[in-house]
Structure 1
Amino acid sequence: MASKWRKAKIALGLNLCVYVPGTVDDESPPSERLSDAALLSPSYTPAAPTTPTPSSRGLRLSKSMSRSSKKICSICLATMKRGDGHAIFTAECSHSFHFHCIASNVKHGNQICPVCRAKWKEIPLQGPSLDPPLGRARINPVDWPQNNAMMTVIRRLPPPCPNANRHTAPLLQAPEPAVFNDDESLDHQPNSAERSTPEKNAVDSNSHRTIQIKTYPHVPEVPQFTSCDNFNVLVHLKAPISISGQNLNINQANLPQISQTPRAPVDLVTVLDISGSMAGTKLALLKRAMGFVIQNLGPNDRMSVIAFSSTARRIFPLRRMTDAGRQQALQAVNSLVANGGTNIAEGLRKGAKVMEDRREKNPVASIILLSDGQDTYTVSGPVGNQNQPNYQLLLPLSIHSTDSAGFKIPVHAFGFGTDHDASSMHSISEISGGTFSFIETEAVIQDAFAQCIGGLLSVVVKELQVVIECVHPSLHLGSLKAGSYSNRVMEDGRMGFIDVGDLYADEERDFLVSVNVPAESSSKETSLFKVRLVYSDPLTKENVTLESDEVRIKRPELAGQEVVSVEVDRHRNRFQAAEAMAQARTAAEQGDLAGAVSTLECCRRVLSETVSAKSRDRLCVALDAELKEMQERMASRHVYEASGRAYILSGLSSHSWQRATARGDSTDGSSLVQSYQTPSMAEMLTRSQATLLGSPSAQRLARPVWSFASQPKPR
């Protein structure tokens, strides 16, 4: 035994690999072994041994091996424990990984250490039999059982070609088609069981598939002989509810879909930054987050993956996420290698091309963009007299041009870390109609993705347009406060339009309509306007038109006690806070941090004196906490550059679209700001957190979520 152990120590000293025999439970047929897709899956957890291993039969590992057993595998993010029945590969650079994880990585052409980026001369291979092929050597220094199919094999790599370009080689392994019209067909013939349940559910839920319309005048009455030039009315909309099971068992995190009820299928293109700065833990966590997304897409959803660094490449075509499609997508994501520069524009161009060239279209389409750096290829300088570069150059014409026959797909941008160009990412999302999220810490990538796809997988309204039409002959519209939503008032002031687009299940929208209220001589009531909604149901493909009752106010002869609507007041505060954020950001970009902080402080004082704030309205409490957080992130130029800019821009994105975004939090770096979060988003986020908690590498606890719609608790 002593001589055998000396051989093992010699192998360890040479930084080679030690074969750890599997347990009895591991001796399963090849078809039952974990695939590459399973290894990448967020729910993958290495099985604990149930039978004794060599370490439990008197073998004592060295101190160096003991320390390495406490490490985290950078591929699957699971703890590498001694005697768990899984081989550990220690590379020439001294970094260790689970053998099956790194063997899968190498199989796709990765010859670089995922942690330190060192180029290996020797790589692990997975041999299906005991006898290695000619020219390969198996390291098995200890006389352990030889009947396990998982063997440690080292292959010495040939010297690189003199003209090889290591920055672009991973993206140039095979030629791409000139036209991306190879998307998988949407044809799907469900069996009788699949066919009966959705139809029944669709009928049962028909009464729930209508948008709710409510209106709130600023005050319920105006004296007869008094006129108002700037009278506010809040128009409140709530999308049809989600009928997904709210009591979903969070331990069932491996379910392919978040809901078993019918929903509109999605075409999703993910544009991922794999530049050199993403190497190591960042790329590993990105792969894990993508694994979560893939596992939660349904068989009628389609996904494509674009990877970009110095160049961009479509590494996975638009395919349906069936069982086979998921496995192929997971393998494609697992093959990613980080190196090169950052060419966001080329990545977006490829992503838009996938959407443009597809032969068939799912009802919902979206692009997810993640980057941790600045575009070093396209944006070269300011435009005209502006100090900011022309970020519109980063977007293909099909996304931001008005001459593209209405083709407009939202880009949900995720700025990762402190070095990304928040202004660029925010501009990309703003122009395309998507949201910008600030991922401050690595651990929150999966949660941020989960919240986003929780919404995308619950779209219940398409192409919503809100029409405001005056009723009283002397009434005219003043302004429409709609954030970033396109809106316009006709020249005669009698009609206005707000283009809202898509709504997620249970999502709410609030718009402030300003009108002039004329004086009345005898009428006891004045009709102001009515609201009409025109939209498409993505599930039934039907066009729907809804019309509200007329908005009326009472006209007493004498003025009574003024009763201000808290609903109107709280949303006036929201718009005012968003305006203060935009002004503070402008001042900060001009170098006036003191002025920016003063602007935010002034807004906080004004909000504190409002009716809703005095009634301790929770939205106002949350707004005050948010403004205070922004002030703290403007404490210095360094703090502002590192996180303040991105935090403010993600806040502006959230308020301007009234949609949840992910943001860092100074009191808890792994938390998300849950503004406007819908139940579907919260459910997917809970699923993500449960997946992370179930992982051996989980280092944090799940945090309760809240939404403004459900009266959030103050932070």
Structure 2
Amino acid sequence: MESEGAADPCAICLGDVGRGQAIFTAECSHVFHFPCISESVAYGHRACPLCKATWRDLPAVGGPVRRPPPATPPSSSAAYDDDEPVVQQGVEAAARDPAANDGLVALKTHCERLAVARGASRDSFAVLVHARAPPGRAAAAGAQRAPLDLVTAIDLSGSMRGEKLCLVKQAVGFVIDNLGPDDRLSVVTFSDVAARALRLARMTPNGKASAKRAVEALVARGGTNIGEGLRVAAKVLDDRRHRNAVTSIILLSDGRDGYVQRRHVDLVPRSRNRTTAAPIHTFGFGADHDAAAMHTVSEETGGTFSFVENQAAIQDSFAQCIGGLLSVAMQSVRIDVACAHPGVRVLGVKSGRYANRVDADGRAASVDVGELYADEERRFLLFVSVPAAEAREEATQRIKVRCSYRDTVTGCLEDVAGDDAAVLRPVQAPDGDDAEVSMEVERERVRVAATEAIAAARAAAERGDHAEAARVLESGREAVRRSAPGVAGDPTCAALEDELSDLSTRVANRREYRQMGRAAMLAGMSSHRQQRALSVALVAARATPFGLARAGRGGRGAPRPYATPAMQNMVEISRSARGQGQQPRARPSPPPQPPPAAKRMHLRFAE
């Protein structure tokens, strides 16, 4: 436990400011290790990493201070309209093939209880809507899938030197190897400025060779300008003359954007938003990245935020993401709900990060889902009011559900009707603890409550109330354990218990939370709110109804749930390529260099 008078850690390395260390106290009163802040200033950063105040007095460094070159707005730079043409024949052939349209979304409903007494009414009666995308066509020989346009935005700041950059090159090389000849890839890099290292080109044998040469030539140096990297990546997609059916940006960074005093949301290019453009999937690497900024970028664009805690897992994390992107089966997915009984009203929807709408009269509701990977599932809780039944009414039809979407392979618009939600209305029915409840509904209640507990704990930790954050997580874990599916040994509940227990150790104190806790909690929230698998670990896992779950209680970096077969398969390919999952040895860190001379008014030694 930290004492109340404990000094703030260095905001750059997050290490303690200990006795005998050279430190720098800025005009804004924030304190940093002198070597840390000197390196930052050497790259041209003149603002406080914490409060963004612009400094007039800077620590002296061994050499002239480099000023960041002015960023060139994408609109005034050369147009990226030299993308290689796409191949359309496969999609057109699939549209003419009746067999390509065999798989439709599976849409089911589950009521929290099978029966409600005829004379009784219920408020906030829960109905689960469960949608599952059709299986991946890639499993069949010669089957078609939607080709991908992918832009990777890679951080090449000085902190990426050495083993980090080697692992990133290896991971991007794996992505190149597993893209098909109809997929297209562009590589964008950023440090002080951003540049396109590879045009948007098809991954034919020649295209793959060119891409690998471009990646191998990358060199790390300079600062971290995430905003410029994202603007160039977005411009590559905006300027392209041809378009594949699936589009995405992958961003990897181990640092913090230090160029403009901006809100996190200002890092998102104007053309990238959830309704009109491709998602940005962000990967925060190590303890020094800006998890809040990366999470905001992904949230604003409909992407995911993954926390890569173990640097050896970079390739596996990329592999899981690519496995999903190469199996996108449905786009523009929308679930519509209509009340079937005149007395039924929709009161609310628990849809996580997905936008939902309930009509003013409560007679209809909808959820905008976006893209679904093959075999991917989404579960949403609807709360409806149930009136008392008529004297001879044996069942009440609650709601009718439909799902509309565009098939990514055929391009056809589909509209599928699901099972109507109905409840029996006997004269008498068990109530309270004696009533039979749906385990499907209860499991989703538990998952939603656990997600809300993580969000509440994060809010407490951000306020500095780490004891409250730990209490919220422990209370949430206990609620999961005591729930009906938890008592029954449901594997999903066991996985949630493990996750909440793990997170509680990450909010125990300020240092732990800043180093790893914030990123882990944001990644968990992103995963559960979107119901999509994120970062992976180099450990075995067990199966749950949502996909892979944690391998053991408290195991850090364990896989998130929701992984689809295509994602799991790509991770296995990655592990096999790395040599049966053996972690590469990290190179020893170089000895610290003595700090250069500094202004006396700013340099002192901690007592």
* Fold agreement, TM-score > 0.5: yes
- Which residue of structure 2 lines up, in the alignment, with residue 534 of structure 1? 404
Is 1:441–1:670's contact at 8 Å kept on the other side of the alignment?
Answer: no
Is 1:228–1:518's contact at 8 Å kept on the other side of the alignment?
Answer: yes
For residue 379 of structure 2, give the secondary structure of its aligned residue in structure 1. Answer: strand
State the Cα distance separating 1:663 from its structure 2 match: 5.3
How does 1:68-79 map onto structure 2 within 5 Å?
none
How does 1:689-704 map onto structure 2 within 5 Å?
689-693=575-579, 698=584
Letter in 2 for 1:631: S
- Which residue of structure 1 lines up, in the alignment, with residue 462 of structure 2? 589
State how far apart, in whole Å, the 1-side matches of 2:582 and 2:370 are: 41
Letter in 2 for 1:495: A
Runs of 4+ in 1 over 6 A off after TM superposition: 162-169, 664-670, 694-697
Q: Does 1:397 align with 2:279?
A: no
State the Cα distance separating 1:166 from its structure 2 match: 11
State the Cα distance separating 1:205 from its structure 2 match: 4.9
Q: Does 1:179 align with 2:79?
A: yes
Letter in 2 for 1:607: V
State the Cα distance separating 1:206 from its structure 2 match: 3.2
Letter in 1 for 2:305: F
In structure 2, relative to structure 1, the CA distance for the partners of 1:482 and 1:697 (3 Å cut) is: closer
State the Cα distance separating 1:237 from its structure 2 match: 0.8
1:446 paired residue among 315, 338, 342: 315
State how far apart, in whole Å, the 2-side matches of 1:572 and 1:295 are: 41
State the Cα distance separating 1:168 from its structure 2 match: 7.9
State the Cα distance separating 1:695 from its structure 2 match: 9.6
Letter in 2 for 1:583: A
In structure 2, relative to structure 1, the CA distance for the partners of 1:697 and 1:506 (3 Å cut) is: closer
State the Cα distance separating 1:177 from its structure 2 match: 5.7
1:217 paired residue among 111, 128, 133: 111
State how far apart, in whole Å, the 2-side matches of 1:430 and 1:509 are: 17
Q: Which runs of 5+ in 1 are unaligned?
A: 1-161, 247-258, 381-389, 701-715
Q: Give CA-to-partner distance per residue, 1:595-636, whole Å, 9 cap, x none.
A: 000001111222222111110111101001100000011222
Is 2:527–2:560's contact at 8 Å kept on the other side of the alignment?
Answer: no
Is 1:415–1:437's contact at 8 Å kept on the other side of the alignment?
Answer: yes
Q: Does 1:280 align with 2:166?
A: no
State how far apart, in whole Å, the 2-side matches of 1:694 and 1:216 are: 42
Moved more, 686-695 or 228-237: 686-695
Identity of aligned residues (%): 44
In structure 2, relative to structure 1, the CA distance for the partners of 1:545 and 1:245 (3 Å cut) is: closer
Is 2:194–2:225's contact at 8 Å kept on the other side of the alignment?
Answer: yes
State the Cα distance separating 1:638 from its structure 2 match: 1.1
Q: Does 1:576 align with 2:449?
A: yes
For residue 123 of structure 2, give the secondary structure of its aligned residue in structure 1. Answer: strand
- Which residue of structure 1 lines up, in the alignment, with residue 120 of structure 2? 226
State the Cα distance separating 1:680 from its structure 2 match: 0.2
State how far apart, in whole Å, the 2-side matches of 1:395 and 1:235 are: 32
Q: Does 1:235 align with 2:129?
A: yes
- Which residue of structure 2 lines up, in the alignment, with residue 142 of structure 1? none
Is 2:503–2:520's contact at 8 Å kept on the other side of the alignment?
Answer: yes
- Which residue of structure 1 lines up, in the alignment, with residue 251 of structure 2? 369
In structure 2, relative to structure 1, the CA distance for the partners of 1:223 and 1:199 (3 Å cut) is: closer
2:559 paired residue among 666, 669, 673: 673
State the Cα distance separating 1:667 from its structure 2 match: 8.3
- Which residue of structure 1 lines up, in the alignment, with residue 499 of structure 2? 626
Q: Give CA-to-partner distance per residue, 1:39-68, whole Å, 9 cap, x none.
A: xxxxxxxxxxxxxxxxxxxxxxxxxxxxxx
1:494 paired residue among 363, 368, 372: 363
- Which residue of structure 1 lines up, in the alignment, with residue 290 of structure 2? 421
1:554 paired residue among 418, 424, 427: 424
State how far apart, in whole Å, the 2-side matches of 1:458 and 1:663 are: 18
In structure 2, relative to structure 1, the CA distance for the partners of 1:337 and 1:698 (3 Å cut) is: closer
2:101 paired residue among 199, 203, 206: 206
Is 2:502–2:553's contact at 8 Å kept on the other side of the alignment?
Answer: no
Letter in 2 for 1:346: E
State how far apart, in whole Å, the 2-side matches of 1:260 and 1:308 are: 38
Letter in 2 for 1:693: G
TM-score (ref. length: structure 1): 0.67
State the Cα distance separating 1:225 from its structure 2 match: 1.0
State the Cα distance separating 1:672 from its structure 2 match: 4.3
Letter in 1 for 2:105: I
State the Cα distance separating 1:379 from its structure 2 match: 3.9
How does 1:320-399 map onto structure 2 within 5 Å?
320-380=202-262, 390-399=263-272
State how far apart, in whole Å, the 1-side matches of 2:119 and 2:350 are: 28
| Cα root mean square deviation, aligned | 2.9
Is 1:440–1:669's contact at 8 Å kept on the other side of the alignment?
Answer: no
Q: Does 1:460 align with 2:360?
A: no
Is 1:440–1:663's contact at 8 Å kept on the other side of the alignment?
Answer: no
Is 2:154–2:189's contact at 8 Å kept on the other side of the alignment?
Answer: yes
State how far apart, in whole Å, the 2-side matches of 1:364 and 1:165 are: 40
For residue 693 of structure 1, give the secondary structure of its aligned residue in structure 2. Answer: coil
More contact order relative to length (CA 8 Å, sep ≥ 6)? 2
State how far apart, in whole Å, the 2-side matches of 1:372 and 1:334 are: 19
Aligned residues: 506
Q: Which runs of 5+ in 2 are unaligned?
A: 1-62, 538-549, 587-607
Largest Rg, 1 or 2: 1
Is 1:370–1:416's contact at 8 Å kept on the other side of the alignment?
Answer: yes
State how far apart, in whole Å, the 1-side matches of 2:164 and 2:157 are: 11
- Which residue of structure 2 lines up, in the alignment, with residue 687 of structure 1? 573
Q: Does 1:567 align with 2:440?
A: yes
Q: Give CA-to-partner distance per residue, 1:314-353, whole Å, 9 cap, x none.
A: 1111111111111111111111110111110101111111
How does 1:52-67 map onto structure 2 within 5 Å?
none
In structure 2, relative to structure 1, the CA distance for the partners of 1:483 and 1:379 (3 Å cut) is: farther
- Which residue of structure 1 lines up, in the alignment, with residue 50 of structure 2? none
State how far apart, in whole Å, the 1-side matches of 2:127 and 2:515 are: 40
State the Cα distance separating 1:204 from its structure 2 match: 3.9
State how far apart, in whole Å, the 2-side matches of 1:491 and 1:696 are: 57
State the Cα distance separating 1:669 from its structure 2 match: 8.2
- Which residue of structure 2 lines up, in the alignment, with residue 95 of structure 1? none
Letter in 2 for 1:505: A
In structure 2, relative to structure 1, the CA distance for the partners of 1:274 and 1:236 (3 Å cut) is: same
For residue 528 of structure 1, give the secondary structure of its aligned residue in structure 2. Answer: strand
